Structures are given as C-alpha cells and as structure tokens.
Amino acid sequence: MPFYLIIFLFLLGIWGIVKKDNLIKKVIGLNIFNSSIVILLIYIGSRTGSTAPIMEKNVKGIAVDPLPQALVLTAIVIGICLTALALSLILKIYHKYGTLSISRIEKLTKNE
C-alpha cells in the first residue's frame, strides 16, 4: 500500500510540472515530485526489526544501512535549495513581465 502512495505522489508531481501554466504551481509540483523520491528512498532503506547503525557492544540483529539515510538528507537539502532558487527566479520574472503564466510570458517575449 505505501508503494501505491509513492507512485501517486510521483505522478501528481509530474502532472503538476507538465500540465500547469502557472510557475508557482510548477514549483509546487516539483516539490511533490521531490517528496515522493525522498519517501521512496526511506521506504526502500527501511527494514522491519532492524536496529540503528550505532557502534556499541552487544548489539544483536541486523543494522539498517545508513547510506540511504545520508542520500535522503542530501536530497532534502538539494530540494530546498532548488525551491529557493526557483522562487527567486520566479520573483524576477514577475517583476519583469507582471504575470506568472508561461503562455502570457511567451506572448510578451515574442512582441519584444
């Protein structure tokens, strides 16, 4: 069941990026897409009944691999930086053209 939720969020993010005309909605779709990838990495990296990867004496059982956790943290930081960059560029575009619609911006750039 969690895998279907991940696929739904993935497709919802792709749909938001491809089909929406507003730039802010495209950034929201990109964030949903990024979140689905993060959730997928967490889902793949988790194991039921595993222990934390802490080096202590008398640790029994199988330890969880810490590499997916590091990749998830990296993906979260990259997603935040990408969102901040995209929003700052959208702000500049809005100040220049007065709209956030891609089709209107294309019409305005053809007239220049």
> What are the residue ranges spanned by the domains of the chain?
2-111
- pLDDT tens digits, one per residue of 32-88: 999 999 999 888 877 666 666 676 666 666 777 777 788 889 999 999 999 999 999
Structure token pair of residue 82: 């990408």
Q: Which residues contact 77 (CB under 8 A, 6 or more apart)?
A: none
Q: What is the pTM of this model?
A: 0.83
Which pLDDT belongs to residue 69? 81
As a whole number, mean pLDDT of residues 10-26 equals: 95
CATH classification for the domain delimited by 2-111, as one of 3.40.640.10, 3.30.70.1090, 1.10.10.10, 1.10.287.3510:
1.10.287.3510
